[in-house]
Amino acid sequence: MQTLTIAGLETVYEQLADTLDRAPEGRRELFLVKLALLAAEALGDPTRFAELTETALLDL
C-alpha cells in the first residue's frame, strides 16, 4: 500500500481546506460525503474504508 509523506499530507490538507471553503455554505456535508464515496471507490476495499471511518471518529 502506498502512503503519503508529511509533505504529501500537508498538500492534501491544504487542498481539502481550500475546496471546503469554495463549497457553498450548507452543502459542505454533501461535498464531504461525495468525496468519501469517491475515496472509497478509489480505495477499493470496503473493510479498510470501514476501519478508516472508525479511526476518523476518534478524538472529535
Q: Over the stretch 4-56, which tens digit does the pLDDT of each residue have?
A: 999 999 999 999 999 999 999 999 999 999 999 999 999 999 999 999 999 99
Q: What is the pLDDT of residue 2?
A: 80
* Amino acid of residue 21: D
Q: What is the pLDDT of residue 29?
A: 97
Q: Is 2 helix (H, G, I), strand (E, B) or coil?
A: coil
Q: What is the pLDDT of residue 31?
A: 98
CA distance 48 to 40: 9
Whole-prediction pTM: 0.85
H-run or E-run covering 9:
helix 6-22
In the 8-state DSSP scheme, what is residue 23?
S
